[in-house]
Amino acid sequence: MATAYSSAELLDQIEALSGQAVSDCYQCGCCTSGCPIGEAMDPPPSKAIRLLQLGRAADLLDSDGIWMCASCMVCGTRCPRGVDYARIAEACRALILRSKLSRVDPDTVAAPELEEIPQQAFIAAFRKSSV
């Protein structure tokens, strides 16, 4: 992601937006093992948090994984350290969206899908992934 911020500044922003402290995570992996989307998510929650701990916030913002989180909140519910990765992913997406880069373009959703998918899904997808 093209950004004027250093990784340290990005981490500050992610922690402020999400209300989560990445240093609380001790890498047990409970979040990743329970994630229903984990096999399609790169990096999965625990690795994503590890990237942040290692000062690599920019790499996380460049990843596909933050867009794969469906906000199901299993990870945060089970985390023994009270870290809510769904909120961290939300903060990462928000940082990117606020720099005006949509992930899902409403104009490209195919017509047959418009007919049948419940509108709640569209609004949710655009809220999470579009400017």
Partner 1 sequence: MTKYVYYPGCTLYTKARSLDQCARKAAEKVGFELTEMPSWNCCGAIYNATNDDLAAQVGSVRNLAKASQIGNKLVTLCAACHNVLKRVQNRLDAPGNEVQSERLKTFVDEEFVQPVRVLHYLEVLKQDIGFEAIKSKVVKPLAKLKVASYYGCLMVRPREVLEFDDPENPRVMDDLMRVLGAEPTRFDFKAECCGGYLVVNRRDVAKGASQKILDNAKEWGAEAIVTTCPLCQYNLDKLRATTDGCLPVFYFTQLLGVAVGLGQGELGLDHNSGDPVGFLKSKGLL
- Interface ranges with partner 1 (CB under 8 A): 16-19, 36-37, 39-40, 68, 70-74, 76-77, 84, 86-87, 90-91, 94, 103-104, 109, 113, 116-125, 127-129
Q: Least separation, in Å, of the C-beta of 69 and partner 1? A: 9
Which residues lie below 8 Å from residue 89, measured CB to CB, with a gap of 6+? 45, 48, 65, 66, 69, 71
Q: Is 42 or 54 the residue whose CB approaches partner 1 more closely?
A: 42
Q: Least separation, in Å, of the C-beta of 123 and partner 1? A: 4
Q: Is 32 exposed, middle or buried (0-12, 13-18, 19+ CB in 10 A)?
A: buried
Q: Is 100 or 116 the residue whose CB approaches partner 1 more closely?
A: 116
Q: Is 6 or 77 the residue whose CB approaches partner 1 more closely?
A: 77
Q: Least separation, in Å, of the C-beta of 41 and partner 1? A: 9
